[in-house]
Amino acid sequence: MGQTITEKILAAHCGVKSVKAGEFIEPKIDIALGNDVTSPLAIKEFRQVGAKKVFDRSKVVLVMDHFTPNKDIDSAEQVKFVRTFAREQKLVHYYEGGNCGVEHALLPEQGIVVPGDLVIGADSHTCTYGAMGAFSSGAGSTDLCAAMITGKIWLKVPKTIKFVYTGKLNTWVGGKDLILYTIGKIGVDGALYQAMEFTGPVIEKLSMSDRFTMANMAIEAGGKNGIIAPDKQTLAYMKGRGKRAGKIFQSDPDATYADIIEIDCSKIVPQVAVPFLPSNAKTARSLNAIEIDQVVVGSCTNGRIEDLRLAASIIKGKKVHSRVRMLVIPATPQIYSAALKEGLLEIFMKAGAIISAPTCGPCLGGHMGILASGERCVATTNRNFVGRMGHPKSEVYLANPAVATASAITGKIIDPSQLK
């Protein structure tokens, strides 16, 4: 009987030919990831159980991205605690300061994750790497601790839902709109405990950047992982990045799926998920009356160079509305540098936008753009829960970079095609 790509990767990491959905397994992992919020707890536990060494100093990756540059004394103490551990363990991949970016943009860019990997990260958006044909899934700090010590994790093999994207993409529609539309269709627990496999002619043509955006938000539908089979584009992206070769897996034609959902993309126009769930997808056009106070272009979802190019192409020669603060957050130093060279940062500054250092910052209501009560933000981020970006009475609207930037110009939510 055929297997899905997810089952094949999991089986390979158990050293067996096949695994079945529902089976409990203890696979080996290629990368264990933590950040400045989740790794302090994991390291505390590491010390408590008396562990001495991580299982492999080149496979534990710690990225200090949430509250950095450190927003207060407590955050600085947390990072100091992690830094001490990273030095003591001689970790190859410790990121803080000038080499640091938003983890899920940074790891693929630096070639740390390769196709066919099994990645466990103490961050829910670890599912991002599925875009490269890896199995990657979020876990907690205790899981990270156990993974750092043993190099393994307990998992239940998930069932897979296959999504087939067909039709032609409309103007201003990208990966963000496809995934918001999908979550809107199946709900925030529509893929609970399951793998989301994104396939179809539209996905085959989609850029890696858009693929990362889609896999990134699998967790917002409750998914265990999001995954896209590697193809020519994946290999082209990997060129010159990964030191490890990686392994290409594909689903068998006769693989078993829990469900197959076909989505006709020609029906999808730019989407906005309104408060307070990522599944509240509406068309941007239907929300034209909503006045906004802030726009954020950035995050592990949409902070890549392609996203900044798109935003810059819309705001070039125009101004951010006087009522709005627009924050642009290149997700990594490499993206920042590219945006500088390409003149994008100048376009943003001339328009009156604010450029921030790479950080998760406002996405999780950490720092660098927190909302007051009653304030509304259109963000290219991934969550719009109550209080996500600040005050419990503030609101976050999720959108693609084109919608967010167009809205920054008009001060109201707008579909970019409505811009004059």
Partner 1 sequence: MASLTLQGSAHRYGANINTDEIIPARYLNTSDPDELAKHCMEDLDKDFMKKLKPGDFIVAEQNFGCGSSREHAPIAIKKAGVSAIIASTFARIFFRNAINIGLPILECPAAVKNIKSGDVLSIDLTAGTIKNVTRSEVYQAQPFPPFMQDIIKQGGLLNYLKRR
Interacting residue ranges for partner 1, rule: CB under 8 A: 24, 37-38, 40-41, 44-45, 48-49, 66-67, 71-72, 74-75, 78, 121-124, 126, 138-143, 145-146, 149-150, 154, 188-189, 192-193, 219, 222, 224, 277, 364-366, 383, 385-388, 392
Q: Would the CA dihedral through 204, 415, 304, 391 be positive or negative?
A: negative
CB of 4 to partner 1, least distance (A): 18
- Minimum distance of partner 1 from residue 385's CB (angstroms): 4
Q: Based on the number of CB atoms within 10 Å of its own CB, is 7 exposed (0-12), middle (13-18) or buried (19 or more)?
A: buried
Closest distance of CB 24 from partner 1, Å: 7
Nearer to partner 1, 259 or 262 (CB): 259
CB nearer to partner 1: give 282 or 285: 282
Burial of 280 from C-beta contacts in 10 A (0-12 / 13-18 / 19+): middle
Residue 48 CB, shortest distance to partner 1, in Å, is: 7
Separation CA 396–CA 275 (nearest Å): 6
Q: What minimum distance in Å lies between the beta carbon of 300 and partner 1?
A: 12
Q: Which is nearer to partner 1, 219 or 314 (CB)?
A: 219
The CA distance from 15 to 13, in Å, is 5
User: Closer to partner 1 at the Cβ: 45 or 346?
Assistant: 45
Q: What angle do CA 224, 228, 229 make, to 5 degrees?
A: 125
Burial 245-264 (b: 16+ CB within 10 A, else e): ebeebebeeebebeeebebe
- What is the β-pairing status of strands 135-138 and 118-121? parallel
Smaller CB distance to partner 1: residue 148 or 345?
A: 148
Q: Which is nearer to partner 1, 154 or 241 (CB)?
A: 154
Considering beta carbons, is residue 36 or 177 the nearer one to partner 1?
A: 36
The terminus-to-terminus CA distance of the chain in angstroms comes to 55
Work out how close the CB of 106 gets to partner 1 at its nearest, in angstroms, rounded to a whole number.
17
E strands, 220-275, are 225-227, 259-264, 271-273
Residue 16 Cβ vs partner 1, minimum distance, rounded to whole Å = 19
Q: What are phi and psi of 33, to 5 degrees?
A: -120, 140
Residue 213 buriedness (CB in 10 A; 0-12 / 13-18 / 19+) = buried
Minimum distance of partner 1 from residue 258's CB (angstroms): 15
Tokens in use for 404? 């967010």
Question: Minimum Å distance from CB 248 to partner 1?
Answer: 27
Nearer to partner 1, 238 or 360 (CB): 360
Task: For partner 1, give the closer residue by CB, 149 or 263.
Answer: 149
* Dihedrals phi, psi of 297, to nearest 5 degrees: -110, 110
What lies within 8 Å, CB to CB, of 23 at 6+ separation is 156, 157
Is the bond preceding residue 69 a cis peptide, omega within 30 degrees? yes
Q: What does the alpha-carbon distance between residue 108 and residue 134 come to, in Å, rounded to a whole number?
A: 11
